[in-house]
Amino acid sequence: MSQSYALLIIDAQYDFCDPKGALYVPGAEKDIERLSQFIIQNQNSIESIILSMDAHPYVHISHPCYWQSQESKNPNPFTLITFEDIHNLTWKPVVNPEYSISYIKLLEEQGQFKHVIWPYHCIAGTKGFTIMDNLMEAIQSWSVKKLKPHKSVFKGTNPFTEQYGIFSANIPHDLYPETHPNHELFNYLNQFDHVLVAGEARSHCVATSIQQIIDLKPELVQKLLIIEDCMSDVPGFENQGKNIYDKAVQMGTKKIHSDYRIK
């Protein structure tokens, strides 16, 4: 009996994957070239393609304009903001301050990520938000060949919480359903025998997505096939997701390369 395969592509967007992008991940453009060829070579065997996409507003808790110093200056990209910084008046949120302070406290108690200020990136509707052209050409070829549409999943739309993983915000917000676990997506992926995973960045959004599968849909973990040479790390965070990937492999995830051919 033939096995069914879905391809989950995480945040293969201009701002991450093009050297001119706002938050370029070194090596990502080569990842996308390999991934595009993988789709073309396996298009007869891939039953579904799902694209996740960061879709941020300008005013977002991870962007400079959301925070100010006592001198009314915004933090530079890649600044770390801690609860201690807020307590010491080094930085203060200028949007939704009461909730934003509690968010930083909850994030630190969670212990998975520190709060990083990123360059303005993947702003919905801008060039940086778009999927890389060569990848979309491969997806178009697959879609026309199979007469199936690809699926798009938008994340990071809520201004009050980061969302690295595609299934849930880092800190879900009680008032915003879009920040809570996406059980519809979990259940959709779980209907396939195998779920191929690629995208950017390995250290952040891919790793967190896999962690969310481990935590919230563990039966899906053993179906994952991680395409190792189709993802790269944010510089300085190369080891951030290592424990997550090791845990996934222990639970049955397999690692492959882009020369893999689906039988």
pLDDT of 237 reads: 83
CA separation for the pair 94, 100 (Å, rounded): 9
- For residue 47, the model assigns a pLDDT of 97
What is this structure's pTM? Answer: 0.95
Q: Number of helices (H) and strands (E), helices first, in the chain?
A: 8, 10
* Local confidence pLDDT in tens for the 263 residues of the chain: 589 999 999 999 999 999 999 999 999 999 999 999 999 999 999 999 999 999 999 999 999 999 999 999 999 999 999 999 999 999 999 999 999 999 999 999 988 788 999 999 999 999 999 999 999 999 999 999 999 999 999 999 999 999 999 999 999 988 899 999 999 999 999 999 999 999 999 999 999 999 999 999 999 999 999 999 999 999 988 888 899 999 999 999 999 999 999 98
Query: What gap in Å lies between CA 25 and CA 15, rounded to an integer?
Result: 9
What is the DSSP secondary-structure string of 213-237? HHHH-GGGGGGEEEEGGG--PPTT-
What per-residue string of b and e applies to 215-230 under the rule 16 or more CB within 10 Å gives b?
eebeebbebbbbbebb
Q: What pLDDT does residue 111 have?
A: 84
Q: Residue 2's pLDDT is what?
A: 82
Instruction: Give yes or no for a contact between 234 and 204, defined as CB atoms under 8 angstroms apart.
Output: yes
Do 104 and 82 form a contact (C-beta atoms < 8 A)?
A: yes
Q: How far is 78 from 201, CA to CA, in rounded Å?
A: 16
What is the per-residue pLDDT for 112?
Answer: 78
Q: What is the pLDDT of residue 36?
A: 98
User: What are the structural domain ranges in the chain?
Assistant: 39-57+122-172+216-230+251-263, 64-116
Structure confidence at residue 1 (pLDDT) = 59
Helix (H, G, I), strand (E, B) or coil at 116: strand
